[in-house]
Chain A
Amino acid sequence: MARKLLLEHINVPGIHTFDVYRKQGGYRSVEKALKSMSPDDVVEEVKKSGLRGRGGAGFPTGMKWSFLAKPEGKARYLVCNADESEPGTFKDRYLMTYIPHALIEGMIVSSFALGAKTSYIYVRGEMMPQIRILEKAIDEAKNAGFLGKNILGSGYDLELYVQPGGGAYICGEETALIESLEGKRGNPRIKPPFPAISGVWGCPTVVNNVESIAAVVPIINDGGDEYAKVGIGRSTGTKLISASGNLNKPGVYEIELGLPVEEFIYSDEYCGGIANGKRLKAVVAGGSSVPILPANLVLKTVSGESRLMSYESLAEGGFQSGSMMGSGGFIAFDEDQCIVRNTWNFSRFYHHESCGQCSPCREGTGWMEKVLHRLEYGHGKMSDIDLLVDVSKKIEGNTICPLGDAAAWPVASAIRHFRDEFEWHVSNPKEAMERNYGIGNYADPLPANEVPVAN
C-alpha cells in the first residue's frame, strides 16, 4: 500500500465527526502551529514541502503565500476554493463529504500562517449537502475551541464561513471566485494586480484549493522536509486523483506522485482496468481542460519511458505528445467512445461556462461548439477541422483568464491525436451517425511534428 497523507483514516467509521477525527490525531497541526510556531514558520514549512497547488495550475503554495502583501490597517483573507467544477474532478467533494475536518484543520493553520482573521470556504452552490457538512464541522470545531476568539489560548482569532456559489464553473478561477464571493457576477479580473495584493474587497488575499489546504495538515504535522520526501522530483507529496469514465473502479484515490499511469489504470489497488473487458482508447489525465492523449501516449512518453503520475512526467512532450496533471481528473475512454462527440460535449461545456467578458472566449467557444456539433451530426466539412485548429490556437493564451486555454486545449489536442476520426466523420457522415470510429489507428506513437495549421 502506498503512503496516504490525506485519506489515511478515511475508512474509520464516524471520521466526519469532530470527536472521531480528533481521536485519530486530528487538529494536532493546529496545536503545533499555534503553540510552537510563528506564522512565518508555517509558511516556511509549506515552502519546504514543495507543495504545489492542487487546483490545476500547480503553482507552489508556499511561494504564493509568501507573495501576500501585508499593508498596515488592512485585513488579509484566506479563501478556500471549493468550487470544484472541472469535468472529471470530484476529489474535493469526496474530501469535504467524508473527512471535512481535514479541510477545517488546514484552514485554521493556513489562516494563522497568513494572518487572516476571517476566512471563507467558497463551495460551489450545487454542493449544498457538503455545505451543510462543513457548517456542522465548523460548529464542532468552534465548540471545541479550535475556532473563534483566542484559539487554544494563543491569542489568535479566526472566524471561518462557508460561502455558496451560484453555479458557474468560471468561479473556480481565483479572481472570478473573489468577485463572486463579493456578491457580484463571476467575471475574472485582469492580473496584475494579483489577489495577493488586491483581492477580496481590495484586501490582500490568498485563494487555495481544498486539497492544497488539507495537505498543509500533514506538512505541519510531519514537517515540510518529510512531506517533500514523498513523491518524485518537484512533484512532492500525495495527490488525490478522481478517476472516471470507462474504468472498473472509478473513484477518488490518493496516490504518491510518481506512480506509473499504467499501474494506476490497471492495478487492482487503483482503477482495476478498463470496464467490461474493453480496450483503452484515450485518457484525459487532469480534468477536461488538459490535452487528451491516446492510450499509447498516456502509458509511455514518446521516448518510450513509462509515463508517471507527476506534474513533470504528464507534461512531458508538451502539446505534441504530452498533457498535464491539472486538477487530477483522470477520465478514461474505452474503444467504443467517440472522440468527436466528447470533444463537442466538452466545448459545449466551455461555451456554456464562459463568463462573456472577453471576446475570444465568449465568441470563440460558441463557434467551436457549433462546428463540432455539425461534425458530430454528419454535416461537417474537411475545412471545419482546420478551422477548429485555427480558432482554438487564437483563443489559447489570449484571454483574460485560463478558461480560454481550457476550452482550446481539448479541441486542439483531440484533432492533434485523432484527426483521422474527425475526417472519418466528414467523409462517412451516415456511418458516423450509426456507429463509432472505434479504436482506429491511434496506437502508433506519432512523430513529434506539428499538424500543419492553415492560417
Chain B
Amino acid sequence: MAVIYIDNVPYEVKAGKNLLEACLSLGFDLPYFCWHPAMGSVGACRQCAVKLFKDDQDTKGRLVMSCMESVRDNLYCSIEDTTAKAFRSQVIEWLMTNHPHDCAVCDEGGSCHLQDMTVMTGHAYRRFNYKKRTYNNQYLGPLINHEMNRCIQCYRCVRFYKDYAGGKDLDVFAAHNNVYFGRATDGVLENEFSGNLAEVCPTGVFTDKTLKEHYTRKWDLTMAPSICQHCSLGCNIIAGERYGELRQITNRYNGDVNGYFICDRGRFGYEYVNSLNRIQHPLIRSHVPEAVNRETLFDHLKPLLSGKVIGVGSPRASLESNFALRQLVGENQFFSGVPETTAEMMEIILSVFNTGDVRIPSMKETEEADVVLILGEDLNNSAPRLALSVRQAVRNNPVEVANTINIPAWHDAALRELVQSEKGDCFIAYPVITKLDELASGTYYISPDEIARLGYAIANFLDPQASAVPDLQGNMQGHAVLIGNSLQKAKNPLIVTGVSLQNPSIIKAAAAIAAALGEGDRKAMLAVVVPDCNSMGLAMMNAPSILNSTALSTIGSPDTLIILENDLFSISQEAQISEILDRSTNIIVLDHLHNPTSARADIVIPVGTFSEADGTLVNNEGRAQAYFQVYMPKNENLRESWRWLSDLKNLRDGTTDANNVTPHDLIRQLADKMPQFTGADQAMPTADLRIKDQKIPREPHRYSGRTAMNANLDVSEPKPPSDPDTPLSFTMEGYKGLQPAPLNSFFWSPGWNSNQSVHKYQMEVGGALYGGNPGVRLFNHINPGDRSYMNGIPPRFKPDKENWEMLPLPHLFGSEALSSLSKGIAELSPQPYVAINSMDAESLNVDEGSILQVIIEGVQYELPVKIKPELPARTAGLPYNLQELTGIKWPAHGQLVKG
C-alpha cells in the first residue's frame, strides 16, 4: 500500500497501479481515452493529465499523464489544479477539431464516452472554425458499422483487435491527423471478437450494426443482467429490449469470467428471440384449430399426465426448468436429452472435478497460466472467450522479465517492446490448424485417439504411476517429453480440453496430465469445454441420456413423453430419435422455436427464451449464474418452462401453490434434493430482496416514452408489469444506487453514461465488482491425498481405407443452432463441406470444391471438398452441427465416394 496526496488529501492506495487507476478506484472523475483497464496504458491521448508535485513544498508542479505515472508513497498530485483542468479541456477541444457534431444521429449518443468526457472537462465552446477532415467509411460485414469521421485516434481499436485479440485485418494507416483505422479494403472483420470494438471505441466509429436495424438509445432500453446462451462458458451479458423486441447484447463485466469482452457469437446471436419462427400459442395437433388457449390446453393435458410420463431435460434449459420437469415426472423418469457419448464424457468430467485432483480455473485464472496445453479443442470456435484468455496467458507470460527492469505491468507499449515476439509455451494437439496455432510453440495435427495417446504419454512421463501407452511411436514419445518437460517447469500450468471431438479418452488423458502435475494442495488447472450453456448443470442432475440403450429399455412405451427445450433430431440420427418418439402415445414439446422435434409433437407449449425468463445456468467451470427476464412479453403464452411445468404438476396433482413459485424457490428445493447443487441458491437471489425497501430497476432513469409508446393501442398509460419472481422491477422506478453485482441491469453512474462506468461498480479498477463477482462455484473440493488416474488408452489410430473417421469441426458461426438464426451470423456461417487432406484427395481423385458423397450410417450427404493438408490420413472433417448437417450420431465413421 502507498499513501498518495490528491489535492492535499491523503489516500491509501495499492502500490504498483498507475495514478489514473488509483484515482478512478478512489472515485475521482478523471477523463481518459487510450487507457483501458484490460489493455493498459500507452499515454497517447493525453487526456488524463494531472499536476504532479515533487513534494509537499513544490507549488509549481508539472503536468503528467496520470496513466503513465506509477503510484508510490508520498506522491503529491492535483486533479483540480487549474492548469491541469485547462489542459484536459484543451485536449477535448483538440479532439473536437475534427469530430463531427452529429451526436443526434450517432448510434453512440447517450452512451458515448467522448460525450461524457467532454462534459466532464467542461469544454463547451470551440474556437476551431475550419473544415473538418473527412474519410470514406468501410463495409466491415453484417455485424459492425464503420464511421471514421468520428474517430478521435485513441488507437484503442487496433490495440484491442490486433494486440489483444490477435486480429490480422484491422490496422492504422497514414500519419499525422490523417490516420485511418480500418481494413486494407472493404470486407468482413475476421476476428471472433470484433463486436468488442463497439465497446472499446470511445465514440461512434465502430458500432453494433444489428442494433442499427432496430435502433434504441441506451437510456430507452429495458435491460436485465443475463448469461450468454451460446456456449458453455457462461459469459455475463446485458440484454436490452424495447417494443417487445430484444435489441442489443452488451458485455456485463464479471472479473472472474468474461471481464470486459465477449465473443461475436454471444453478442450478435440474440436475434432468434425476435424470430418469426417463435411458437406463439399452445398447439394441440388434434384440435381444430391447433392454437388453443390455456384452459383448453390444461383440459387436454390433464389425463395425459396421469399415466407413465417420461421427461427429457435439456442442456440449454435452466436448472429451474430441468428441475421442474424432474419434479413433474419423478426422478426415475427424468432423462437428459444429450447424445450418449456426450453424456459419457460429462460423467467423466464430473468425476474428475469431484476427485479434487485438479484445479478448475475461472477464465480470469486461465490468463495467469505460464504454460498451456490444449488437447482436442479449437477454442476460437468452440469456446471463443476462453481462446481470448489463453491468448493473454501466452502473451503475458514473458512479461515477468519486465519486473526486473522496473517496467510496470500497466505500461503496455513498453512491455510489448521489451518482450518482442517472445511468448509463453503453448502446445496444441488438434486434427486441423486452429487460430491459436500462431501462438503455439508446438502443434500436433493428429487424430482424436492419437491426441488421447499423446496426452496419456505426457501423463506417464510426468508420473510413471499413470499408465504407460502401449505401442507408442518414437516421435510421439519425443513430443510427450518436450511438452512434459515444459509443463513440469511451469509454475502455473493449464490443461485445456473438451468434448468437441467426441472422444472420452482425450478428457481422461487431459485429466491425467493435470492430476500428475498436482502436488499436495497445489493442483494444476484443468479447463474443460462442454457443449451447451447448461450442459454442466444438467449433467450434475445425474440423469441418464435418453439415447442410452439401458435407459431406453427402462422407458418401454410411455403414455407421454415431455421434451424440454430440445431439438432431439439435431443430436442424433433421425431413425434413432424417431424410434424413441414412436414409443410414446403423446409427445409434449416445450420450446420457443418451431423445429423438427416440435413438428413431431402432439402438443406444443410456447416458452420464453432467456430474455423472457429467469433461470440459473452452470457453466463449464461449475459456476452457477443467474439470468433475469429482460421484459414481460406482450404474448402471455410466452412463459418460463419452469412455470408451465410447475403448473402441470399442480394440474396433475390437483394442488395449487400457496404462493407464486419463484426461481429461487426452485433452486433451493433443487439444492435440498441434490447436495451437489449446494450454494447454487446463492446465485439466484430471493424474490423479496429489496434495497432500502426498493426493487432494482431494469430501466435507466432517463427512460422515455412510457406514457406514449403504446398510445396507438390505448391512450391511457398501462399499468407497468410487475415482477413477482425476482428483485428487479420492469420500470425505471427503484433503487438508483449501487446494486448487488448479480443484479446490475446496466452500468451507469452520474457523468458516466457509457459502459466505461463499470469502474464505478468495481472495488478497484479492473478488479472484482462490489460484493464479489456474480456466480457461485459448485466444485471446490481439493484432494490433498493420492491422485487417481482413469484408464482407457485407445489403440493406435490406423487409417482405414474404407471406414473414414469423421471429425466434427466446430465453427464460431454455424455450429450453435440458436445463434445461427441471427441474420448476420447466418450470413457468416460456412457452407457445408467435407475436409480431407491432400493425399487423400489425390487418392480419391478430387480437388478443392469437387463433390463427394459422404455416407454416415446409411445417410448420404453431397458435400464439396475442402482440402486441409494437415488433416490426418483417412479422417474427414465436417462442420459440426450446421443446419444441413445435424442429426449425425457422433463419434461417427463413414464412407467417402466420388460423386
Contacts and interface: CB of A to CB of B under 8 A. Distances in A.
Direct A–B touching in the complex (beta carbon < 8 Å)? yes
B45 interface: yes
Contacts of A69: 405
A354 B91 contact: no
Interface string B173-209: 0111111000000000000000000000000000000
B413 interface: yes
Interface residues of B, number: 41
Q: Among the interface residues B47, B49, B177, B407, which one has the most CB atoms of the partner chain A within 10 A?
A: B177
Interface in B68-122: 68, 86-87, 90-91, 94-95, 97-98
A353 interface: yes
B417 A202 contact: yes
A185 interface: yes
Given A190-B413, A201-B420, A362-B153, A356 B177 contact: yes
A437 B123 CA distance: 37
B798 to A, nearest CB: 46
Contact of A366 (B45, B91, B155, B176): B176
Contact of A356 (B42, B87, B176, B406): B176
A188 to B, nearest CB: 10
A66 B42 CA distance: 28
A391 B89 CA distance: 12
A189 B413 contact: yes
B661 interface: no
Contact of A365 (B90, B98, B176, B413): B176
A168 B177 contact: no
B28 interface: no
Given A197-B405, A358-B45, A359-B47, A367 B413 contact: no
Contact of A190 (B42, B95, B405): B42
Contacts of B175: 168, 185, 354-356
Given A193-B407, A202-B418, A353-B176, A359 B153 contact: yes
Interface string A142-154: 0000000000000
Contacts of A363: 94-95, 97-98, 177
Interface residues of A, number: 37
A357 B44 contact: yes
A124 to B, nearest CB: 15
A400 interface: yes
Contact of A358 (B46, B127, B411): B46
B417 A198 contact: yes
A359 B91 contact: yes
Interface string A223-242: 00000000000000000000
B205 to A, nearest CB: 15
Given A190-B43, A198-B405, A394 B177 contact: no
A127 interface: no
B93 to A, nearest CB: 8
B490 interface: no
Contacts of B172: 185
Interface in A340-355: 351-355
Contacts of B42: 190
A359 B128 CA distance: 15
Contacts of B178: 356
A367 B417 contact: no
A122 B214 CA distance: 54
Contacts of A197: 405
Contacts of B46: 358-360, 398-399
Contact of B68 (A190, A351, A352, A370): A190
Interface string A314-350: 0000000000000000000000000000000000000
A455 B125 CA distance: 13
Interface in A7-52: none
B63 interface: yes
Contacts of A364: 94
A180 to B, nearest CB: 12
B49 A370 contact: no
Identify whether the interface residues of A are mostly helix, strand, loop, or mixed: loop
Interface in B449-506: none
Contact of A394 (B43, B87, B98): B87
B793 to A, nearest CB: 42
Contacts of B179: 356, 362
Contacts of B90: 360, 391, 394
Contact of B177 (A71, A366, A400): A366
Interface in A126-181: 168
B414 interface: yes
Contacts of A366: 97, 176-177
A358 B418 contact: no
B121 to A, nearest CB: 12
B414 A189 contact: yes
B419 interface: yes
A355 B91 CA distance: 17
Nearest to A371: B130
A363 B177 CA distance: 6
A439 interface: no
Contact of B176 (A202, A355, A455): A355
Contacts of A198: 405, 407, 414, 417-418
Nearest to A178: B417
A367 B43 contact: no
Interface string B377-416: 0000000000000000000000000000111000101100
A398 B63 contact: yes
Contacts of A367: 94, 97, 128, 130
B420 to A, nearest CB: 5
Interface string B121-140: 00000011010000000000
B62 to A, nearest CB: 8
A60 interface: no
Contacts of A429: none
A370 B130 contact: yes
Most buried by A among B45, B63, B405: B405
A362 B177 contact: yes
A177 to B, nearest CB: 14
A87 interface: no
A197 B407 CA distance: 10
B831 to A, nearest CB: 38
Nearest to A386: B127
Given A353-B176, A354-B177, A387-B127, A193 B91 contact: no
B158 to A, nearest CB: 11
B418 A193 contact: yes
A263 B127 CA distance: 45
A119 to B, nearest CB: 19
Contacts of A391: 90
Query: Which of B152, B155, B175 is packed against the most chain A CB atoms within 10 Å?
Result: B175
A450 to B, nearest CB: 15
A358 B91 CA distance: 10
A157 B94 CA distance: 51
Contacts of B68: 190
A378 interface: no
A397 interface: yes
A192 B175 CA distance: 24
Interface in A381-416: 387, 391, 394, 397-400
Interface string A241-260: 00000000000000000000
A120 B538 CA distance: 64
Given A190-B42, A360-B90, 17 more contacts: A192-B407, A193-B414, A201-B420, A353-B176, A354-B176, A354-B177, A356-B175, A356-B179, A360-B94, A363-B94, A363-B95, A367-B128, A367-B130, A370-B130, A387-B127, A397-B63, A398-B63
6 contacts: A190-B42, A190-B68, A202-B418, A359-B153, A363-B98, A400-B43
Interface of B: 42-47, 49, 62-63, 68, 86-87, 90-91, 94-95, 97-98, 127-128, 130, 152-153, 155, 172, 174-179, 405-407, 411, 413-414, 417-420
Per CB-CB distance, the 8 closest pairs between chain A and chain B, nearest first, are: A363-B94, A356-B179, A354-B176, A202-B418, A394-B90, A366-B177, A370-B130, A190-B43
